Amino acid sequence: MNKQNTPEQELQAFGYNQQLHRSLNLWHLTAFGLNYMIPIAPAIIFGFILTTSGGTVVLPYLLAFVGMSFTAMSYAVLIRKFPVAGSLYSYVARGLNPHIGFLAGWVLLLDYILIPTVTAMSSAMYIKQYFPDVSYEVWLFIFIIGAGVLNLFNVKLMAKLGIWLLLIGEIVIFVGFFVWSKAVIVNKIGVGHFFSMTPFDFSSFGALATATSIAVLSYLGFDAITTLSEEAINPKRDIPRAIFLSVGIGAVTMLLTGYIGTLVIPNWKSFANNPNWVSTTLFHVSQITGGKIFALFYTSGFLLAMVVFNVVATAAGARLLFGMGRDGALPAKIFGAVNRKWKTPHWNIIIIVCLEFLLGSLFQLDKIAELVNYGALLGFILLNVTVIVLFIFKKQAIKENNNKSFIIFIKYIFFPALGICVLGWVFLNMHINTLIFGTIWLVIGVVYGLYISNGYRKLPPNLKL
């Protein structure tokens, strides 16, 4: 493809017209990814990772970072080859097989719908503790509708707001690091000194793998960046850069949170049977180290981060549906539609908002949270497989990197293979209920795929190119 082609011309080469508004630069995209990753996300799952692993939060976040880094490299390869909306669905469909691509998008829908549902539910429950006279459903409705309205208007407005709110969230996080560290070093709370091996304790490798599958939740934002490929000013350059920046910055904050937070609570086993403590561990850490005022400050930062997350998560989910709808994998008149005035996939946003409220009202938080990572891990494995297939069978790497065999091997085989191994290990060690219910969702997708493709003999029109 000619290097002088504009993003609009490159999009047309895949059979698509420019429908979404291109307005996002590198920093908009990076902020979008970080907000989706929720740098303060350990506040939600810290206690679950700690108790599941048997004492460590650092190692699960580190292992998740390794697996996500290799996968991020595969994303960088594929976004340069397929600069279209739809994320993992589009890449697997075009690089591996259209029908497998549909199934990759289908399982990934679990994450794009369930993750914002989980954060909306947890935020509504937490706010209700301060305003018990207002029902949970009312707070859930307000939380979800606010995110939906921001998404309907304009992605540029959402991105600008995201940068400022991200800065506020990062300030809250690093103030927390300072307060926790001061409490450990000066006040001798917890371990009593800053350098310790305590944060690296774990009960077994199986427990570590299961905890890592939970920690993966905090890294899923880099995938969401790719859903904005058709709204990025320079997608081939800025999307990969934003992916690596998001994963790197997010990893630093999560690893520090895991290390310093664990220093404060070496006696965590005495609290492990207390569900309230496990689900709000870092709030208790903040109260122990900084008192009630700091705990309120940290809580406010957490709630703000949840608001931002729901905004960007709704945007990402809407664009995944748009990519599938435009190709005919889902009903195009609804899922492939774009609002003429706002240039956003409005029906997708409305559908996601309704599903979030319905699921959040009818089901328990822990039941929904169990399914979150099934789709992401399975989809990421397929993505890494796609890169290898492009090199071995379709010889795409050779065309782009003549006489650079070592780089080709590292980029198209070695890194994707490592990603498959790490993610496969984590996937197989997920809770059995997660594997069962996730597989049921996958089977439903297989049956639906059979129906829309006439037994997998018919391809969506735009994927015949």
- The per-residue pLDDT for range 123-143, each reduced to its tens digit, is 787 677 668 888 889 989 988
In a domain, 92, yes or no: yes
In a domain, 184, yes or no: yes
pLDDT score at 462:
53
How far apart are the C-alpha atoms of 355 and 352, rounded to whole Å? Answer: 5
Q: Would you place residue 85 in the very low, low, confident or very high pLDDT band (cuts 50, 70, 90)?
A: low
pLDDT score at 444:
93
In a domain, 420, yes or no: no
Let me know how many helices (H) and strands (E) the chain has, helices first.
21, 0
User: What is the span of the domain harbouring residue 222?
Assistant: 7-365+375-380
In a domain, 386, yes or no: no
In a domain, 316, yes or no: yes
Q: How many domains does the chain have?
A: 1
In a domain, 23, yes or no: yes
Q: Which one, of 280, 307, 276, 320, lies nearest residue 120 by Cα?
A: 307
Predicted confidence (pLDDT) at residue 393 exceeds the cutoff of 90: no
User: Which of 182-191, 291-300, 314-323, 334-343: highest mean pLDDT?
Assistant: 182-191
Predicted confidence (pLDDT) at residue 2 exceeds the cutoff of 50: no
pLDDT above 90 as % of the chain: 22
How far apart are the C-alpha atoms of 419 and 423, rounded to whole Å? Answer: 6
In a domain, 419, yes or no: no
Query: What is the value of pTM for the model shown?
Result: 0.78
How far apart are the C-alpha atoms of 73 and 156, rounded to whole Å? Answer: 27
Check which CATH number belongs to the domain holding 349 and give it. 1.20.1740.10
Q: Which one, of 215, 199, 222, lies nearest residue 37 by Cα?
A: 222
In a domain, 393, yes or no: no
Helices (H), 82-220: 88-95, 98-130, 136-153, 155-185, 205-215
Q: Would you place residue 3 in the very low, low, confident or very high pLDDT band (cuts 50, 70, 90)?
A: low
pLDDT, one tens digit per residue, over 437-450 is: 899 999 999 998 88
Predicted confidence (pLDDT) at residue 403 exceeds the cutoff of 60: no
Average pLDDT of the chain, as a whole number: 83
pLDDT, one tens digit per residue, over 366-382 is: 667 667 778 888 989 99
CB neighbours of 107 closer than 8 A, spacing ≥ 6? Answer: 374, 375, 378, 379, 438, 441, 442, 445
